[in-house]
Amino acid sequence: SWNETIERMACRLSKWNLKTLSIGGRLTLLKSVLGSMPVYHMSLFKVPKKVLHRMESMRSHSFNGAELSSKKSVLVKWKHALASKDKGGLGKVKSCYPSLWLDIIHEVEMFKSRGIELVSLIHSKLDNGSNTCFWKVAWRGGSPFKSLYPRLYALETQKKIDVASKFSHSGLDVSFPRPPRCGVELQQFERMKKKVEGCI
């Protein structure tokens, strides 16, 4: 929970004698240590605003060498410490929280602007197939089966069936209301069977 993360940050802060450090030393500690502590949780869960304010408050007090409960007058305003260096600040501490994800998003958007869809190149890891949707996830190639075989997807009665369940039946058409008919349906069915050869 977020309370545990905040407690860990407070515990780490209590071990440092911040009053003996220069402003630069405090800033370096805050950026390198406290900035990276909540990254794992932030990669999994959305952070409540209240928690973010609490974290920023802790870092603001620490940056100014004050106890968390004190109201010591500050040497440098926290918003100036957060500002980028080219705007007269000390470097963006705040952006250290999700910096890994911000970097990833920035790179993805940069490639996208050049016509490269990185997300389309990411493939799902199949494992035993119980957590992978047969139709909606690109688990066998670059596109999901519902896009490759739209006529078969229209026939499917269990649109959310997983790969393991689909293969546990005696045939790929067991969850269809009727066998694929000649023409496009049959062609797509034969292509799909060929596509999944070696998986069954």
Q: What is the pTM of this model?
A: 0.42
* Mean pLDDT (whole number) for 28-38: 71
pLDDT score for 193:
92
Average pLDDT for the chain: 76
21 and 58 housed in the same domain: yes
Domain limits for position 195: 119-200
The Cα–Cα gap between 126 and 137 comes to 10
Residues 91 and 147 in one domain: no
**Dihedral in degrees, nearest 10, Cα atoms 167, 145, 138, 117:** 180
Classify residue 15: in a domain, yes or no.
yes
Structural domain contains residue 112: no
> Does 156 have pLDDT greater than 50?
yes
From residue 13, give the alpha-carbon distance in Å to each of 18, 30, 162: 8, 9, 47
> What one-letter code names the amino acid at 141?
G
Q: Is the per-residue pLDDT at 200 higher than 60?
A: no
Same domain, 81 and 125: no
Least confident range of 63-72, 81-90, 109-118: 81-90
pLDDT band for 83, please (50, 70, 90 cuts): low
Domain boundary among 33, 67, 100: 100
**Rg of the chain over CA atoms, in angstroms?**
27
Cβ proximity of 155 and 140 under 8 Å: no
Give the total number of structural domains in the chain. 2
pLDDT digits (tens, 9 = 90+) for 110-128: 888 888 877 667 666 677 7
Q: Which of 70-74, 100-104, 119-123, 193-197 has the highest mean pLDDT?
A: 193-197
Residue 108 lies in a domain: no
